[in-house]
Amino acid sequence: MIRLLLLAALAFSLAHPAAATDSAEKLQRLRGVMTERLVIMEQVARYKWNAGLPVEDRNREAAVLEKTTAMAVGRGLNPELATRVVRAQIEAAKMVQSSLFEQWRKAGAGKSAEVPSLTATLRPEVTRLSRELIAALVVAQDDLDSCLAPRVLSPVPGILARFPRAWRAAVDGTLGATGPCPSPKDGP
């Protein structure tokens, strides 16, 4: 039965290529915002490194999770989806920062020069990207269960090639449990 439904969806996407393209564009936008949000984490890590702050700040994480999830629910997202995605982005961000801290520890790195302020520059930028993430998620939410979603979201962006585990965590949290998709060799 599932195979029949998947085949029907595949037939629909082949018969309606505009729908498939639209879905791909929505997912690409989501992927782009996820990428941007993780890229800025290097600057966040540099600030924390210079200031001697830990990667993890549970109070801040709880506040971000609560605020961003409320914003997502206010935009019509399912609360479980919103919480899962926001939590995954936070965990991925911590993975990037922890990886960098470990790298800098091993290298005996000193302080970085000219790091933007966490409160004046970086947090507002992360907040802006979180809003964009929610907006992209609202638009792409109906496509997250499609077989196209893992194909678009899963490949690690080149700019994040040093952090494949963090990207995987961000994507897995965004996709949740997805059903089996036919491989291209299975055909219709």
What would the pLDDT profile of 12-54 be if each residue is shown by its tens digit? 444 443 444 699 999 999 999 999 999 999 999 999 999 999 9
Q: Are 66 and 150 in contact (CB under 8 A)?
A: no
What average pLDDT does the segment 94-109 reach?
97
Residue 179: per-residue pLDDT: 56
Q: Is the pLDDT of residue 1 over 50?
A: no
| Statement: residue 181 has pLDDT above 80 | no
Inform me whether the pLDDT recorded for 182 exceeds 70: no
pLDDT of residue 183: 57
What's the mean pLDDT when you consider all of the chain? 87
Mean pLDDT of 125-135: 95
Mean pLDDT of 56-68: 92
Which tens digit of pLDDT belongs to each residue from 105-127? 999 999 999 999 999 999 999 99
Q: Residue 158's CB: how many other CB atoms inside 10 A? A: 7
Superfamily for domain range 22-176:
Chorismate mutase (1.20.59.10)
In one-letter notation, the amino acid at residue 149 is: A
Instruction: Classify residue 184 by its DSSP letter.
Output: G
Residue 184 has pLDDT above 60, yes or no: no
Examine the pLDDT at 128 and tell me if it is beyond 70: yes
Q: How confident is residue 79, by pLDDT bands cut at 50, 70 and 90?
A: confident
pTM exceeds cut of 0.95? no
Q: What is the pLDDT of residue 142?
A: 94
**60: phi then psi, degrees, rounded to nearest 5:** -65, -45
DSSP structural state of residue 185: G
Domain ranges of the chain: 22-176
pLDDT interval class at 157 (50, 70, 90): very high
DSSP for 115-173?
PPPIIIIIHHHHHHHHHHHHHHHHHHGGGTTSTHHHHHHSSPPGGGTT-HHHHHHHHHH
